Structure 1
Amino acid sequence: MAQEYIVETTGLTKHFKGFVAVRDVSLRVRRGTIHALIGPNGAGKTTVFNLITKFLDPSAGQILYNGDDITKANPADIARRGMVRSFQISAVFPHLSVLENVRIALQRPTGVSFHFWRPHTVLDNLNDKARELIAAVGLSDVETEPAVELPYGRKRALEIATTLALDPELMLLDEPMAGMGHEDISRVSDLIRRVSKDRTVLMVEHNLNVVADLSDTITVLQRGEILAEGSYEDVSNNSEVREAYMGTGHA
């Protein structure tokens, strides 16, 4: 039987030269849901992401993924296990086309190293799958365009496509709506909702409207600690959350 919670942390703590960025965070992400981390700048959200994906080692605590202890695993091992993250800054190859970016990402699950030195025709067998992913994120009309020429929101859609190419069981999205206008936010929100049907999503997001629309569970962080957790209705009606965040316009 599959674990009910795909990720569980217990007492997760991170010190930086005497500064406690994350303190005693015990988080459980239910399989098949969209789980959001919110909090103002400095609340520890991205640090929690970095700890879970092992870009940082915890000072204390334990991390379980699918019931296995991954506290001492390395980032490459985490990715191979099916936990894949995006970053606040778009991480695509700017001068390669949309199709080429997705094809490169598709090479990873094959277990074969990147074929930069081989003729491009070797990758033609990946075209059909690449185009399926490109269509899924609404970029079919620009598949031959260099990534650098895409509007910001569509670059983020391309990044999600390359993340999906790794066939993740768990997607971690770090501020996927950062810097977007209303139209792009709507498009990427719809995309996240579609791709979440087959996987679990853990995301950091500042836009409360997005969080309210997409999330099944919300964890509110304050100064590196969990302040509240529950549905949007639960946390928005929490007096401590309202005092700490809702009144400030931050999330």
Structure 2
Amino acid sequence: MDADTILATKDLTIEFKGFVAVNGVDLHVKRGTIHALIGPNGAGKTTCFNLLTKFLTPTKGAIVYNGRDITAMKPADVARLGLVRSFQISAVFPHLTVLENVRIALQRKRGSSFDFWRSERLLKALDGEAMALVEAVGLADFADIPAVELSYGRKRALEIATTLALDPEMMLLDEPMAGMGHEDVDRTAELIRRVAADRTILMVEHNLSVVASLSDRITVLARGRILAEGDYATVSKDPRVLESYIGVGHG
């Protein structure tokens, strides 16, 4: 694995009772890029994410992150290495404020996960760092609002802030735009672009216009296999991709 590659898989395969959901996938994600994983429904994208973040164990194959074989590691250990899936660790507490949610994520990074009984003084010490993250995701005006009152798109921004609190080197975003209106999509795309300035992002996304504008490289999955790979201009003209996306690829 060369120094430019942060995450690679070799022959990654998982079989469920005779059904092969991910089949011999060789994935190479370059450090400092936004890499999109796309494909029609049932292509194996989320299963692939579950394998990469260790929520599923492959039937065969290997996963290497930063030159280290993580195939047999536990999800929490992989997250500690800096490979974090947004919406995996970042459960948002609905009745706590935006700032309080980010503060808890910062506590978790320090290994004091749910130490709610710490002195107010110690917790207040995290407020500056928490507020910087709240500002980074465009939620400064909502810092004192309970998470339950946020719009769908802003909840997603808060989830990204709580993921950033763990200081990941690489973030996996599973359909970050799902269920969003146009305004939220634009805001979230801009947030992902900012977040990607100093880290690597791998994302599953159905919105192809978002994929086109954000991604440096795209891997297309179909029936658990890699169908095509390249930048958007290359992939979008590939006849096999067009065929697999008929009636699907306008979202």
Q: TM-score, normalised by structure 1?
A: 0.96
Measure the CA separation in 1 of the matches of 2:114 and 2:133.
19
Q: Does residue 109 of the first structure (1) align with residue 104 of the second (2)?
A: no
Q: Residues 115-138 of structure 1, C-alpha deviation per residue, up to 9 Å, x if partnerless?
A: 212344321010001010000101
| Residues 170 and 201 in structure 1, CA contact (< 8 A), matched pair in contact too | yes
Alignment: residue pair count: 250
User: Which 5+ residue runs of structure 2 have no aligned equivalent?
Assistant: none
Correspondences of 1:151-162 after superposition (within 5 Å)? 151-162=151-162
Measure the CA separation in 2 of the matches of 1:120 and 1:96.
15
Q: Report what 2:54 is aligned to.
A: 54
Measure the CA separation in 2 of the matches of 1:108 and 1:119.
16
User: For structure 1, which segment, 70-79 or 239-248, has the greater mean C-alpha deviation from structure 2 after superposition?
Assistant: 239-248
Measure the CA separation in 1 of the matches of 2:34 and 2:148.
30
Q: Percent identity?
A: 68
- Which secondary structure does the structure 2 equivalent of 1:248 belong to? coil
| Residues 23 and 224 in structure 2, CA contact (< 8 A), matched pair in contact too | yes
State the shift of 1:113 in Å: 3.7
Q: Residues 171-212 of structure 1, C-alpha deviation per residue, up to 9 Å, x if partnerless?
A: 000000000000000000000000100000000000000000
Give, as a single letter, the amino acid of the residue that structure 2 aligns with 1:147: A
| Residues 40 and 250 in structure 1, CA contact (< 8 A), matched pair in contact too | no
Q: Does residue 86 of the first structure (1) align with residue 86 of the second (2)?
A: yes
Q: Report what 2:40 is aligned to.
A: 40
| Residues 94 and 146 in structure 2, CA contact (< 8 A), matched pair in contact too | yes
State the shift of 1:41 in Å: 1.4
Q: TM-score, normalised by structure 2?
A: 0.96
Measure the CA separation in 1 of the matches of 2:173 and 2:248.
24
Measure the CA separation in 2 of the matches of 1:173 and 1:238.
25
Q: Does residue 125 of the first structure (1) align with residue 122 of the second (2)?
A: no
State the shift of 1:250 in Å: 5.8
Measure the CA separation in 1 of the matches of 2:247 and 2:237.
12
Q: Report what 1:233 is aligned to.
A: 233
| Residues 208 and 249 in structure 2, CA contact (< 8 A), matched pair in contact too | no
| Residues 97 and 145 in structure 2, CA contact (< 8 A), matched pair in contact too | yes
Measure the CA separation in 2 of the matches of 1:91 and 1:178.
17
